[in-house]
Structure 1
Amino acid sequence: MDQWYKIDNTGKIFHAVSNASNSAVFRVSMTLHEMVDPKILQEALDIVVLRFPTLTVRVRKGLFWDFLEQNDQVLLVKEETDYPCAPIDRKENNAFLIRVLYFKKRISVEVFHSLTDGGGAAEFLKTLAYEYLLLKGEPVEADGTYIMLPHDAPKREEVEDSFEKYATSREVKNPASSDKKAYQLKGTTLNPPGINVIQGIVDAKALNTFAKAEGTSLTGFLTSLLIKVIHMEKHREKSKSSLITVAMPVSLRRHFPSVSIRNFFSVSNIGVRMSDDVSLEEIIEQVTQQLIAKTDKNFLQEGINRFVAFQSHLWLRIVPVFIKYPVMRFAFNQFGERAKTLTLSNLGNIQLPESMQPYADSMDVVLYPTNKSPINCGTATVNDKLTITFSRSIEENKIIKTFFKEITRLTGLDVTVSSNGWGE
């Protein structure tokens, strides 16, 4: 009998809200120093899919919730021809919600967000790259510390819903205060529609040292600078809204010992009410205080409890999907999307086994833009190389250009900028 899985607590939301303008597909990539051999990559993928059963599934429609079941089709490696994070056509993709792409020296894994988060996708990509290098005959070795070894059997804890495991209450004690409406970016939709990507690569160690000298973390500095730059550009269009909010996915695995490959993150909104006389130093101070408060274990625990309580609610359990999904979509757009200016997702410093490090040039994460958040940002570090990736569905890119210029102006560091050229 085929294995099946409930969609995890966060995943249900992505099933409800995805549509033509919100693909809910994100990408994690690794760029190697040599051209990718697609034949060997396919051989590696055929082995690795068995290691990650919750990522290689198909969706089945249920009356109250959709669910996931084992997909026995072949997941095929494809050369990249489209823009990143395009909606996944299930018919074209053998019903999978994940795709593996290659382009020159880059291997990319694109995932529908209901299956996993950035942490889970990065684990899949690392294992795939490891097996690929092994099949190429490279002298890579791993003891399972930084890599989920491809031939190990999947563990029960890896497929669990960690929200259910770590919820300490199913009653909502402190209802979430509704985050205030934030300033939203607007622009001219790219023609043809798609996603333009602009990437900047900078020395992670040096930028981290600079951020520490400013009294904050790398994430704190990038968030503060984004807020400052958005205000600088917003000022030119005489917009009245002054609250600029960066939505930040926070991995819960750092505080709750989970090895689940499914979604296990929450989102913290970091907002600053801006005016022309607010200095970067003041923004950094406010952002850093909020980051400390909103990544505190007790704060995150309340979020887990609230989330599980909401989805355990009798109304949500007994209402059929065709009524439930439109209601969830409306709530997401009203309360989730309107409360942020853009999303900044930092995958952090990705650890590779020492023997693999010489083969990886860089890693990056691309977030999908949405109607209300047409520019988003993802960052990832490997081998001390930080890649900052902006994805946008609009023509206007002044914020992005100014952001990279400001990093260089403030820190004196070189930033190597490149673009996929879509829509230009």
Structure 2
Amino acid sequence: MKIIKISGTAMLVCFVFLITGCGGAGVEGLYNATTADGVKIGMKRYRPTPRHSYRSGMPILLANGITMNNNQWDTYSPPWLNSYHYELPSNAPAWARNDPTIRDDNLKYFSMAHYLYLRGYDVWMMNYRGVGRDDYASEDGHGNTDLDVWCALDFPAAVDKVRAVTGKKPVIGGHSTGGLCAYLYLQGITMDANVVKAGEYLPHVTSSAALAAQRNANVSGFVGVDPAGSPILAYEWLIDNALIFDILALEVLIDLDAIMPWVLSLVPPAITSGAVNLVFTIIGNLADAFPSYLPHWADLFGALDFWSVENMDPYAEDFVARIALSSFYLGGIAQYADWGINGEFREHWQNGQENANRVVPPGRTPGDGYYYFNDYMSRMTVPAFSVFSSHSGLVDTATMVDTIYNGKTYNSKDAWIEVPNSGHVDIVNGNSAPTISFPAIADWMDSL
């Protein structure tokens, strides 16, 4: 038996961590939530340094987009990478120029978590199962995990944790898939946790009007940053076949959190941001040149135009690629493909024991047993605010305004904006975020 000795100094350190509010094992801001099927997910409660207090204002829970982790909400210069030398623009707002934290690290200018903290809000950032790095990483689920599992089991556990710790009703939301999970949570979705835990197949998504009403009563509002739903695709006929869907339906976790840190440790920021700029500048130019008289299904580059690099600082681009890019389950990508091709916004087509071996997603038929998200959007009753990108790659503003704002029960505080010259990735921490998106979100939260 191995005996671990803890010195008096170590005990004192642990005590200091405890009273200052640090998370598990003395990790700054770390909290863990356990899902109904027993998976531990990692969360971070934001403050600039351990010398700062957590905010006592309204909590906000932010969930990341697919292929991202919770770092996307808190852009910063990595302390081990001394080549970051971002300088604030000369016309930066006074709140940024006068903030000591941003003076120490100018890249914090693009941190939504930091901005909302400055406005007095208690910011929480979650990682889904299979996602995250270092101590904030969540445990892996089964390989058959899909968006439904993230939204029906992981997201509710995170909301419950925020409510339990703060005793307050949070605003909930996130970027892309994070927004999706938030508004599905508000329509009362759930899954049989025992079946999910067994891992043999995934059960159908179900929902309850009573659960939806309870959840809406327990949160203050919804914030979506380019919230996801049915995407606009191109050349659907190339994807809509058994071979492609057989690949997309593989029960695999693409573990970028294990791969990317090692790969990008070999590459300087100039190379990372340069590659991103080259690829997405070409895509953007080809998307702009697409003839308007051709059908949308031929606009491949319009469908891929989801990163407006002219709206993003190169160091922030490198941060996203180096630190925020994260793991995902292939089943989540498969769902987005199904929605874009079939035009049906629903649970994964392999949910339910009777569908476990189904390869190609079918069209909608009466009584097919699938849960269709659009059918229950009216159960979302809380005030909602969204910030949309102007490019339609991955998320189309008109489509999602119709899904959310024409689908939910009207609230007088419902509102949304579209940020000019922005894309799906840069909408979170691009050049326009600190001057347009961040203040708009905080001002709307103030109105609550």
Scaled to the shorter chain, the TM-score interval is under 0.3
Greater fraction of residues in helix: 2
Q: Please, what TM-score do these two structures have when normalized by structure 2?
A: 0.25
Higher strand share: 1
The higher-RCO structure (CA 8 Å, 6+ apart) is 1
What's the TM-score once normalised by structure 1's chain length? Answer: 0.27
